[in-house]
Amino acid sequence: MRKDSKIYVAGHRGLVGSAILRKLKSEGYTNLQYKTSKELDLRDKNQVDRFFQEEKPEYVFLAAAKVGGIVANNEYPADFIRDNLLIQTNVIDASYRNNVEKLLFLGSTCIYPKMAPQPLKEEYLLTGELEPTNEPYAIAKIAGIKMCESYNRQYGTKYISAMPTNLYGENDNFDLKTSHVLPALLRKFHEAKDSKAPFVEMWGTGTPKREFLYSDDLADACLFLMNNYGGNEIVNIGVGEDIKIGELGEKIKAVVGYDGEIRFDTTKPDGTPRKLVDVTTINSLGWKATTSLEEGLQKAYRWFLENEIIKK
């Protein structure tokens, strides 16, 4: 991409999109396009078509999506499959019809089978059953991947799909009903510290392992792929290391400065037992994550405090 290329960041206010926007600005890209969901509802085909016809972006980062953790996925499965299918279908198709030069579609590692071998290689896609708790979301994302691949095959487009591992960072969602595990725990430990609660309750057994990537590292990887990758295969983005959820709780407890105990509610689901991605492909292309979990947690908690996420 040239520094003056017309670049559209879909979902610029979310965790991923805002990080991509910050990265582009810091790297000197000057012709950036973005709209709030009130200004442009990506679920509405007519609105999306009008935007692309009028603005004619050359590059698209498709980071807009309806996302959430186990609770949200369990309670709103119809919303997750419908909204994500609509968003990605409208944007990908409008990109093709308006001659977008290149598009990067962001999926998720939940696309991989629940019991796939670890670490998760790109080739494991569609080799087994999905994790039931987020199957509607995963199926929508798989459809987006296949849509990009199919448009490339049929129309000669340059649409690439990146699969980030679990993310956290600035502009994260800290709502306890709809957030992912790490931001939810940051908030729970913060509230427990404030209220001097004797313990914090965590879901499940604490034994599942998860990998966590800081959002600014993901943005760096997305820009790297947009400028350096042109293949039709999906590419994992992660750090290549994981941690038990119970150990994550201990790290967050330390960062927040909470001195109570951690209790596990084993009546609640654990979700997938392990989700570590194989990052051989992106590492071989020349990119590696640089933010440690400790550093990332401190940055995320600082942002949480500065933005008064739960101000009463």
Question: Which residues participate in the annotated binding site for NADP(+)?
Answer: 11-17, 106-109, 141, 164-167, 180
Residue 64: left (phi > 0), alpha (psi -120 to 50), or beta? Answer: beta
Residue 2's nearest CA partner among 21, 22, 25, 30 is: 30
Q: Which two tokens stand for residue 166?
A: 């679990």
Which residue of the set 137, 151, 229, 301 is catalytic?
Answer: 137
The three state secondary structure string of the chain is CCCCCCEEEECCCCHHHHHHHHHHHHCCCCCEECCCCCCCCCCCHHHHHHHHHHHCCCEEEECCCCCCCHHHHHHCHHHHHHHHHHHHHHHHHHHHHCCCCEEEEECCHHHCCCCCCCCECHHHCCCCCCCHHHHHHHHHHHHHHHHHHHHHHHHCCCEEEEEECEEECCCCCCCCCCCCHHHHHHHHHHHHHHHCCCEEEEECCCCCEECEEEHHHHHHHHHHHHHHCCCCCCEEECCCCCEEHHHHHHHHHHHHCCCCEEEEECCCCCCCCEECECCHHHHHHCCCCCCCHHHHHHHHHHHHHHCCCCCC
Our answer to whether residue 137 is catalytic in this structure is yes
CB-based contact 148:105 (threshold 8 Å): yes
CB-based contact 83:66 (threshold 8 Å): yes
CA distance 124 to 102: 25
Q: Which two tokens stand for residue 82?
A: 């419908």
Active centre residues (catalytic): 137
